[in-house]
Chains A and B, each alone.
Chain A
Amino acid sequence: MAADFEYIINKAVNGERLNLEEGVALLSCPDLTLLGQAANIVKNKMHPEKIVTFVIDRNINYTNICQCQCKFCAFYRKKDDSDAYVISEDVLYKKIEETLSVGGTTVMIQGGLHPDLGLNYYLNMLRSIKERYNIHIHSFSPPEIVHMAENSGLPVKEVLKQLKDAGLDSLPGGGAEILVDRVRKKISPNKIGWEQWMEVMKCAHSLGMKSTATMMFGHVETLEERVMHMIRVRDLQDETGGFTAFIPWSYQPKNTELGGETATGVDYLKTLAVSRLILDNVPNIQASWVTQGAKMGQVALVFGANDFGSTMLEENVVRAAGVTNRVPLEEIIRCIKDAGYIPAQRTPLYQIIKYFE
């Protein structure tokens, strides 16, 4: 048994590509720090400079009204719920100004699939932001793009083109959950299938927009399905090279229809390490302090992660699922330094703009 793991790990460390079975085997490897060392070696080869990056940004959720109503989600509301909302322009601008005032470079605008908001709503939003502010707009995950395409009767590519012309800079990797339709039918039956998710990303990449890819794990998926998700991301990356980062985070069960328990710390670190080993063509792996807390986020830095994600001045979706990890910028910088790395603020496209030495 031990020899098998060593064989697979040596393969990965020597830069050979791992297949599905090998990824699954590593996820069940009982030697946690061995996996960490392998992921750490691979990470150090890709990022030899001892720097850990992060982005200063804000999540803005323009609406919580959503017709998708996924079973794992605690954020969505129905139109007539008393706490359903659509954000006003004034509030949107105020949030952007607050972001800029603390050195933020980016807003990640995402929302529910609101049945009545047409494509023009999104185009106007983008144009009105770009008219007023110099800020990177990293917004609208594939399910929202498909929703806009369906509501407007336009093809996905045309929607993306219009969004880009109106000011959209890049796409967040949300809505990926697990990119296997068996799982999606169970946890998000009304959401786009995995191929459609990929199609949106492929179109975005072909238009010159970069994106990230996320993975929400630790619910009903098997280990095979988890690795399959990674391999599907790797396949598209071979084609387009458009993914900047992979962001695995664990399902948060509180206040959701799906319920159950969250993945353990060991499961998180193993999944992170295996994603570093499988995704040989994706440059960055993000630690998720939002779902794991600052301590585990820091430990993730020796299990394959080279990026601390975003400072998130505001986060609503995970918070709705009962997790209230708040990590201010100083704390992120302290964690990175304490682990022996140089903290650096980056843009959403991973250009470093400021070191914190």
Chain B
Amino acid sequence: MEEVFRQSELKDIAEKVYNGERLTREDGIKLYQSNDLLAIGRLANYVREKKNGNRAYFIVNRHINHTNICENRCQLCAFGRDADDPKAYVLSLDEIEEKARSCRSEKISEIHIVGGLHPDLKLDYYLEMLRRVRKALPDVIIQSFTAVEVDYLARLHNLRVEDVLKALMDAGLDSLPGGGAEIFAPRVRKIICDKKISGERWLEVHKTAHRLGMRTNATMLYGHVETIEERIDHMLALREAQDETGGFLTFIPLAFHPQNTQLESMNISRTTGFDDLKTYAVSRLMLDNIDHIKAYWVLTGPKLAQVSLSFGVDDLDGTVVEENIAHDAGADTDQYMPKKKLIKMIKAAGRQPVERDTMYNVLGEVF
């Protein structure tokens, strides 16, 4: 154990971490309540380096949002629109194919497609979308449609989730992104996304995907109306599901951006730097069975994302290109990060940059 922990309020937790023991709910709460940010960071860094060494992963990817029309209109969201809103849009299949084709020259390894719950877009639209994207980009991993969208398609067609997932996989889907998880606690969902599927349902969709052989991601949207306990319970629910299936690749804490959302009037402040770094570190410490913790620089800002590489994070997401969802909620970061800049950032943090694909296969590490 490091000297600094001998006198620390976190001594018992430090001991467990160094012995590789699993942390409890109480441990998680205690970590969050501590202001010893550097000690928490060092513990998380110990686990991070044990799991991922000095590597810091990134991906060259592209986001496509096929529609912003959404039946759920979650209170937390600044992106969704009603169908008659002048800013509402739906991308045609031709447009999506064109967008996919246009990134052929960029050497992307992943395409990330998510959108609203549009009542007129049936399963056919999604299957055809996947087939066309697959044809345009045969070697690219398609990580698309959150559990919320998958569940919506199942209900729209009166199909089982399993059957929808199988059809999507047949058409080219490789992986589900981690969106829509928010905070699993029903109390919180009632306030921030009252029409969205429950946390249980979200987990069920992912576990089904895992059983079909897909790897997926998990997120947590924090910094709105949830308590520390509800954050920890969210992590524990994921840890339990992961014990069952082992299908989660990455956990991605997402800092809530209140601007332009229905929650703006509640006067919710943006998360602080302490809260962001603590959340990365605590999730690294709690989620002992998930390999990767990702800082999404679009929400955290590039400076803090870089710093987070010493606070449990081993992945900085990617080049993104055309980020819409966070920017509609007032994110003031860029919508694109050149690969060169990502590599420079990682190196300046003393880490080894590794370009990965969605499944964390190494695509390049000599930069």
Closest-by-CB residue of B relative to A40 is: B38
Chain B residues within an 8 Å CB radius of A141: none
Question: How far does the Cβ of B282 sit from chain A's closest Cβ, in whole Å?
Answer: 15
Q: How many residues of B contact A (CB 8 A)?
A: 33
Question: How far does the Cβ of B222 sit from chain A's closest Cβ, in whole Å?
Answer: 14
B345 lies within 8 A of chain A by Cβ: yes
Which secondary structure dominates chain A's binding surface?
Answer: helix
A335 lies within 8 A of chain B by Cβ: yes
Q: How many residues of A contact B (CB 8 A)?
A: 30
What is the number of contacts between chain A and chain B, taking CB atoms within 8 Å? Answer: 87
Q: Could you tell me if B273 and A33 are in contact, using CB atoms closer than 8 angstroms?
A: no
Chain A residues within an 8 Å CB radius of B272: 294-295, 298, 334-335, 338-339
The residues in A between 1 and 60 inclusive whose CB is less than 8 angstroms from any CB of B are 30-34, 36-37, 40
A305 lies within 8 A of chain B by Cβ: no
The residues in A between 238 and 269 inclusive whose CB is less than 8 angstroms from any CB of B are 261, 264-269
Q: Could you tell me if A266 and B349 are in contact, using CB atoms closer than 8 angstroms?
A: yes
Q: Could you tell me if B273 and A294 are in contact, using CB atoms closer than 8 angstroms?
A: yes
B302 lies within 8 A of chain A by Cβ: yes
Q: Could you tell me if B269 and A296 are in contact, using CB atoms closer than 8 angstroms?
A: no
Question: How far does the Cβ of B188 sit from chain A's closest Cβ, in whole Å?
Answer: 20
Q: Roughly how many angstroms separate A64 CA and B45 CA in the complex, as a whole number?
A: 47
Chain B residues within an 8 Å CB radius of A269: 307
Q: Roughly how many angstroms separate A85 CA and B36 CA in the complex, as a whole number?
A: 48
Q: Roughly how many angstroms separate A292 CA and B42 CA in the complex, as a whole number?
A: 23
Q: Roughly how many angstroms separate A162 CA and B309 CA in the complex, as a whole number?
A: 52
Q: Could you tell me if A296 and B38 are in contact, using CB atoms closer than 8 angstroms?
A: no
Q: Mark A163-177, 1 if CB is under 8 A from B, else 0.
A: 000000000000000
Chain B residues within an 8 Å CB radius of A296: 273, 301, 303-304, 307
Q: Could you tell me if B35 and A36 are in contact, using CB atoms closer than 8 angstroms?
A: no
Given A37-B4, A298-B272, A338-B275: A266 touches B307 (CB 8 Å cut-off): yes
Chain B residues within an 8 Å CB radius of A40: 38
Q: Roughly how many angstroms separate A262 CA and B311 CA in the complex, as a whole number?
A: 22
Q: Roughly how many angstroms separate A30 CA and B273 CA in the complex, as a whole number?
A: 21
Q: Could you tell me if B307 and A265 are in contact, using CB atoms closer than 8 angstroms?
A: yes
12 A-B pairs with C-beta separation under 8 A: A32-B307, A32-B350, A33-B310, A265-B307, A266-B309, A294-B272, A297-B273, A299-B273, A302-B38, A335-B272, A335-B273, A338-B274
